[in-house]
Chain A
Amino acid sequence: MSCVAKLSDMVSGFHIPGSGDADTNALQLGFSPEVILYPETVEEISRVLDFASRNGIRIFPFAGGTKLFLGNPVSTIGAALSLKRLCRVLFHEPSDMVSTVECGMEIREFQKIIGRENQVFPVDPPRLACGATIGGLVSTNLCGPMSSRYGTCRELILGAKAVRADGEIINLGGKVVKNVAGYDIPKLMVGSLGTLCVLAEVTFRLYPRQPSSRTLVVGFDDHDSCSRAARSILNADVIPTCFEILDEKLSSEFSATRGAKRSVLLRLDSFEDAVVEQIKQVKEITSGESASFVETDDEFSRDLWDSVREFPFSNEVSFSSKLTLPIEDSIKVLYDIESASELSGVEVRCLSRPIRGIVLVSVSGESSRAHGTAHFLENLADVLGGRIMFSGIRHELREKIKTWGNFGEALLLMKNIKRRFDPGNILPGEKIFDAD
């Protein structure tokens, strides 16, 4: 019996690629493991990793398989470990606004369940509508427009049950919103792309649902007036749940404000009177900037936010990138990026999330020109003291564009952490670390 076949005996279900019905999620893996394992309990995961680490079998954990485009491609993998059968809400105490959920559960499903108690799990990452899971959310730390108010899942995670690469089951953090006992290892798991542990369960803090919600779209004729308005909104006494700035192309494609050079999208959630008052305030402070306003109805705003949420991760482009910048720069750079793309002859789409200092960019064009733009963006992030990440890099550019830009002085410590948690590199460290 081969080692991989022995792994199959340790879990409730498995699938050998090429035999019988394929798992549609696994089809997106981009590599072909010898076996796909479907554990149903954390103990089964523990047995798999214990055996794998003793025998040098590399394991690739995944759940919904909707964000596999993130990070470097993986190399030799023995078994893929699907968490999709761990999909229960294990704990939800409404009066504590805390819930523990298994990592294979779809975020939408989780949101539906806790929604029955009039509570929200305020995340809206890309791929939310097509099966994004709790595990994928935590391990990628991708977020959406609502992060302007609630932060990313880093701000929501309280505890985690995970399995170390050597098979040890660990339960860290807790189930209370305030806790400083020991290192905050659950937060270390956020964004680690499954390279340190296999996450099985996560405990989150929840929020109360706000009684009223409205979306306001403001169109502008030029970059400068939009930037001034954006700064005024940032300094105003309004608390937006979402606050995005779209460039000309996205304004038109998302049907936000056709013909506008820039659009500001705001979502305000609160008590009805407070929402109305805040919208009035935004209109007043931006009206001097030749702005046009649309207060959207429910259906239109839903479509709009769906489009914004998915940007910029598309297969149709040369690459997508996410820049993290100081707040002020995240407003200013839209102009610089747009100008540079006009000069270099590539097609660029750009969105800014100023409260978070995030700029999202998609680039399409001839290979060497697209590469030049990637270089420009990397420099831009560097000069402004920010960071950059690339994803969905088209095949011919993969050798030329580094997924993670520059980790700086943190790289050595990151490698130390990986070496301590997973000395045999059983879990796919190459998603984050380039080969030396």
Chain B
Amino acid sequence: MRSQTSKRTGEWKSRIASELIEILGTDAVISSEDELIAYESDGLTGYRVKPVFVVLPSSTEQVSQVVKLCNREEMPFVPRGAGTGLSGGALPSREGIVVSLSRMNRILEVDIPNRVVVVEPGVVNISVTNAVSAEGFYYAPDPSSQIVCTIGGNVAENSGGVHCLKYGVTTNHVLGVEMVLPDGAIVKLGGMTLESFGYDLLSLVVGSEGLLGIVTKVFLRIIKKPQMVKTLFASFERIEDAGASVSAIISSGVIPAGMEIMDNLSINAVESTVGAGYPTDAGAILLVELDGPGAEVNVQTPTVSEILKGNGAIEIKVAVDENERQLFWKGRKSAFAAMGRISPGYYVQDGVIPRSSLARVLGEIGELGKRYGLRVANVFHAGDGNLHPLVLYDPEIKGESEKAEELSGEILRVCVDAGGSITGEHGVGFDKKRFLPLMFSEQEIDTMNLVRCAFDEKGLCNPGKVFPTPRTCVEPGMQNHSSKPPPKEMGEFF
């Protein structure tokens, strides 16, 4: 992207402000320094950048006009949902605009017979389930921030949740999107159907971290609520035994809706905060949630119970009613917040490892914690190997936050060395882009850039994220070796 620094004068700013106001109205354009502060960061508050403007469009057409203006001015723009992301994906771009989708928050259509709900991107995740719950349906992806995070953000990050082991992540539940491309064009990809033909562009857009355009409408698949849900709680002396139970349960033919492990440090943090009734002397606890047809769950429950016993569970409880089930989950759901009780600061990671290496990786994380002199609490989606190590530190102690950040990076290295990933659901964003080369070669990252260039040749849409170093879009063919021109009749295909 060409540097436009010289154009960003006061006169330029007031001209752009007038144009934005003309498109959106005065109440939808924020430019005062005080108000911009709220948009300086997302859930990853360690990084802050003040944008030039924040705009709050109410329609796809307005988004398109704003993006066309950005395109003409070569001004970067960053889409933003609820700002709950943990990877800095909605961090503003210097000299750019933040396009907040918070006013596009309508549920446009609820179609029960076809099992589709059409929403604007600013709709809060839990609202989708609330809209169809009375009919016996729900929206499956349930990130822990589901009472505040929005569908637009979920699409950008390909969000998961505690139930994605059985039901998949956002990409398995998005049937289509309407989006504004980085040149302002409005396109619809997919729609009311589960399958489509041609290149699967939808799979690129879901999880693209806002780099391919701005999604303005989403077609979501809803599924039937399970007839029966049973939640089992088990405590173990050793976390390794909890891990072994997870593999054994799946090998038996049972795929639970979710399986969550918490280690001793997390248990104690939670108990001192919400009192979920977890045994504070346990090495780990495991929650297993089974759901489905009653006939199936009734068979699976004793099977799982036996497996837990066989793997050394000290105590096994099956929730007798919804109240007890909620209590089991209360501890898990408040785990992040509870860390504030035992530490003034913490850094969350999102690495993924193969289930089979759980015990080894947890051991290595423990060793790393000792080496850095920091405590690491472990809370994780055990079924799919998605770890959320919480590195605890005191920001008042000089150098400790840097140390925590470094330790977090080391943990990601351990995950990748074990055959895993640097992120399972939070996204690469700004925070982890430097770690992308741990997983991918230059050529592989270049290949990802081919996708970005196919959507956003000028690189204006959410720049500075995901890619570890800035990449431009070379004219097709130029990045390759000097090939002979294709036969004329072949060139006609493009």
Residues of A within 8 A of B (CB): 50, 53-56, 58, 75-76, 93-98, 118, 151-152, 154-155, 164-166, 168-172, 174-185, 187-188, 190-192, 196, 207-211, 231, 235, 237-239, 270-271, 273-274, 276-278, 281, 324-329, 356-358, 385-387, 389, 404-405, 407-421, 423-426, 429-430, 432-433, 435-436
Contact = CB atoms under 8 A, between A and B. Distances in A.
Contacts of B492: 435-436
Nearest to A195: B199
Given A172-B444, A192-B199, A238-B293, A180 B424 contact: yes
Interface in B401-436: 419-428, 432, 436
B296 A271 contact: yes
Contacts of B113: 231, 327-328
Contact of B293 (A239, A411, A425): A239
A434 B252 CA distance: 49
B454 A420 contact: yes
A402 to B, nearest CB: 11
Given A164-B447, A326-B193, A425-B490, A191 B482 contact: no
Given A191-B199, A238-B293, A413-B187, A151 B172 contact: yes
11 contacts: A76-B489, A96-B355, A176-B354, A181-B421, A181-B423, A211-B253, A271-B299, A326-B114, A326-B116, A329-B114, A423-B486
Nearest to A196: B199
B295 interface: yes
A408 B189 CA distance: 9
The number of chain B residues touching the other chain, given as a range, is 35 or more
Contact of A56 (B247, B255, B448, B484): B484
Given A95-B247, A430-B493, A170 B195 contact: no
B447 A188 contact: no
A404 to B, nearest CB: 6
A416 B169 CA distance: 27
Contacts of A207: 255
A94 B188 CA distance: 40
A118 B251 contact: yes
Given A183-B448, A409-B188, A426-B483, 10 more contacts: A58-B487, A95-B251, A179-B424, A274-B296, A274-B298, A274-B299, A329-B114, A413-B201, A414-B201, A420-B450
Contacts of A165: 480
B352 A208 contact: no
A425 B194 contact: no
B356 interface: yes
B158 interface: yes
A424 B485 contact: yes
Given A56-B484, A273-B299, A184 B206 contact: yes
B377 interface: no
Interface in B472-489: 476-477, 480-487, 489
Nearest to B454: A416
Nearest to A3: B484
Contacts of A178: 160, 164, 169, 352, 381, 384-386, 421, 424-425
B219 to A, nearest CB: 10
Contacts, number: 326
A430 B422 CA distance: 37
A435 to B, nearest CB: 5
A214 to B, nearest CB: 13
A425 B164 contact: no
Contacts of A415: 493-494
Contact of A429 (B114, B168, B250, B493): B493
Nearest to A169: B443
B338 interface: no
A209 B253 CA distance: 6
B285 interface: no
Nearest to A76: B487
Given A324-B193, A387-B193, A54 B204 contact: no
Nearest to B227: A237
B195 A95 contact: no
A434 B473 CA distance: 26
Given A181-B421, A184-B206, A327-B115, A425 B491 contact: yes
B192 A181 contact: no
A96 B192 contact: no
Contacts of B296: 239, 270-271, 274, 278
Contacts of A58: 487, 490
Nearest to B209: A180
Contact of B194 (A54, A96, A356, A407): A356
A407 B158 CA distance: 24
**Listed residue (A183, A324, A386, A417) with the most chain B CB atoms within 10 angstroms of its CB:** A183
B487 A56 contact: yes
Nearest to B303: A271
B354 A188 contact: no
B476 A419 contact: yes
B199 A389 contact: no
A53 B485 contact: no
B173 to A, nearest CB: 11
Contacts of B171: 184, 187
B354 A425 contact: no
Contacts of B199: 188, 191-192, 196, 410, 413-414, 417-418, 432
A436 B453 CA distance: 23
Contacts of A208: 250-255
B455 to A, nearest CB: 7
A326 B158 CA distance: 23
Interface in B365-400: 381, 384-386
A97 B451 contact: no
Nearest to B452: A183
Contacts of B65: none
A154 B196 CA distance: 11
B163 to A, nearest CB: 12
A278 B484 contact: no
Given A154-B200, A278-B293, A410-B189, A356 B195 contact: yes
A239 B425 CA distance: 27
Interface string B172-200: 10000000010000011101111111111
A30 B156 CA distance: 42
A405 B193 CA distance: 15
B247 A53 contact: no
B436 A325 contact: no
Given A54-B482, A185-B447, A273 B295 contact: yes
A65 to B, nearest CB: 21
A76 B447 CA distance: 27
B48 interface: no
Given A175-B419, A387-B197, A409-B187, A181 B428 contact: yes
